[in-house]
Amino acid sequence: MNALTPFLPTIAALVKIGLLVGGLMTAAAYLVLVERWMAAWVQDRKGPNRVGIPLTKIRLFGLGQPMADGLKIIMKEDFTPRHVDKVLYTVAPLVILAASLAIFAAIPFGSVLPPLGIPGLPDPVPFLVAPGLDVGVLWVFALSSIAVYGVLLGGWASNNKYGFLGGLRSSAQLVAYEIPLGLGLLGVVLAAGSLKLDAIMNAQAESGIWYAFAQPLGFLVFLVASFAEAARLPFDLPEAEQELVGGYHTEYSGIKLLLFLVAEFLHMVTAAFLIVIMFLGGWHLWGVTGSSQEVTWLGAFIRFGVLSAKIFGVILFFMLVRWSWPRFRFDQLMNLAWKVMLPLGIANLVTVATIEEFRPQLVAALGAGPAAAIALAAPWAVFFLGWIAAGMLTPSGTDNTPIRTHNMLDAERSLRGQDLVEV
């Protein structure tokens, strides 16, 4: 015992915060580079490959590009237009970035360290800023909604039609997709029996069956909804460049714009973290990481590496989809959310709840093996049935047939398919 002991948990938390925020900011900067590379490669270009170490001719495949990009945008004039609401205009980027970073307080970025044996520090030390938080998932979703608030504020405070439309679209889209997102999540929470993200990972590691395999429909719904939540193509309507200039950040420049862009990338990173933690097993990989809570130093870093690799893979998938897919129209977006994703999410939830409810009876009646097989097969059956039903019954497409007449009355008739009385 020495004078520092009471402060050790605080110091540990501060160290974790420092590592996490530093890592996230660097990651966001380099993800911009990765995004530009992916964009270039998909279009048969080479992408940024010139900027290396400053003042030398060493290029390093363009790895110096984030520094140049960051420096450029920081040096730009931070212009505040006259017509904006000054307070909200300044607060909006801060809100969105603070919320995007605070989300990571509850998101584990690895498994646990081996026991350090330092008195006053709880052992083992988890890779998590706020390990005591019992409602990690709720915290994540509450704060991601606050981030939406930043987008709305930015759009509103800009006092600009493009910005306003971007904010408006964003609010409708995010409200619509929070519901499938939550439904996809509820299945996982039900199965794992905990709202703590590290507990969800541990549950997958112990059973060895990732929730993506146990709840394919939930995974699908969650994946699509997280694309929409992160406002990535094909759901990037809040900032559709071709229609809205820049969407909610049209009026922003300089460092405020940078905060928005960083927050956007952090949303994508958050979405990737959640997908990996909740559905793709987190740090678990069969035969590599083991599943117990006792790890060696090497094991701890292998787990951290596996988690990071999976997250990077999901982010690459996000970026690849961006170039594979055209943007949805707004009505199609809403149709997809309310008519397809919501019912599918409910179907998944009902399936999972039923299985969890009757699992003890199944095990008692059939034995552990067949019960597990049924618990695995039933969600897949629901997955295929649900998907086919969604395709057959409620297509998210709409009737795009052009109106083939100049006569407005005929047009009305052909639209409504009924006789109208001529006035």
Rule CB under 8 A: which residues touch another protein? 38, 40-46, 320-321, 323-325, 387-388, 391-392, 395, 397, 400-406
Residue (119 or 391) nearer to another protein, CB? 391
- In three-state secondary structure terms, 112 is strand
Task: Work out the number of other CB atoms within 10 angstroms of the CB of residue 173.
Answer: 23
List own/partner pairs for 374-379 with CB under 8 A and 24 or more apart.
375/214, 376/209, 376/213, 376/214, 378/351, 379/214, 379/215, 379/216, 379/217, 379/218, 379/348, 379/351, 379/352, 379/355
Instruction: Name every residue whose Cβ is closer than 8 Å to that of residue 330 and which is 6 or more positions away in sequence.
Output: 169, 172, 237
Tell me how far, at minimum, the Cβ of 316 lies from another protein, in Å: 10
Shortest distance in whole angstroms from residue 397 CB to another protein? 7
Pick 79 or 325: Cβ nearer another protein:
325
Our CB check for another protein shows the closer of 50 and 86 to be 50
Q: Judge whether 211 and 279 are in contact, CB under 8 Å.
A: yes
Output 136 or 216, the one with its CB closest to another protein. Answer: 216
3-state SS class at 15: helix
Using N-to-C axis directions, what is the helix angle for 161-192 and 216-229, rounded to 10°? 150
Minimum CB distance to another protein, residue 304 (Å): 27
Query: Can you read off the two tokens belonging to residue 334?
Result: 């809403």
| Tokens at 422, concatenated | 């001529």
Q: Provide the residue type at 219 as one letter.
A: F
Nearest approach, Cβ of residue 396 and another protein (Å): 9
Which lies closer to another protein via its Cβ, residue 6 or residue 395?
Answer: 395
Between residues 354 and 405, which has the closer beta carbon with respect to another protein? 405
Q: Cβ of residue 34: shortest distance to another protein, in angstroms?
A: 12
**What's the closest the beta carbon of residue 406 comes to another protein, in angstroms?**
5
The minimum distance between CB 70 and another protein, in angstroms, equals: 24
Question: Taking a C-beta distance cutoff of 8 angstroms, is the pair 190, 351 a contact?
Answer: no
Beta strands in 43-157 (DSSP E): none
Peptide bond into 234 cis (omega under 30): yes
Q: Considering beta carbons, is residue 82 or 404 the nearer one to another protein?
A: 404
CA–CA separation, 121 vs 204, rounded Å? 27
Q: Which of 14, 88, 62, 31 has the alpha carbon at shortest distance from 273?
A: 31
Number of helices and strands (H, E) in the chain? 15, 0
**C-beta closer to another protein: residue 45 or 76:** 45
Q: How far is the CB of 71 from another protein (least distance, A)?
A: 23
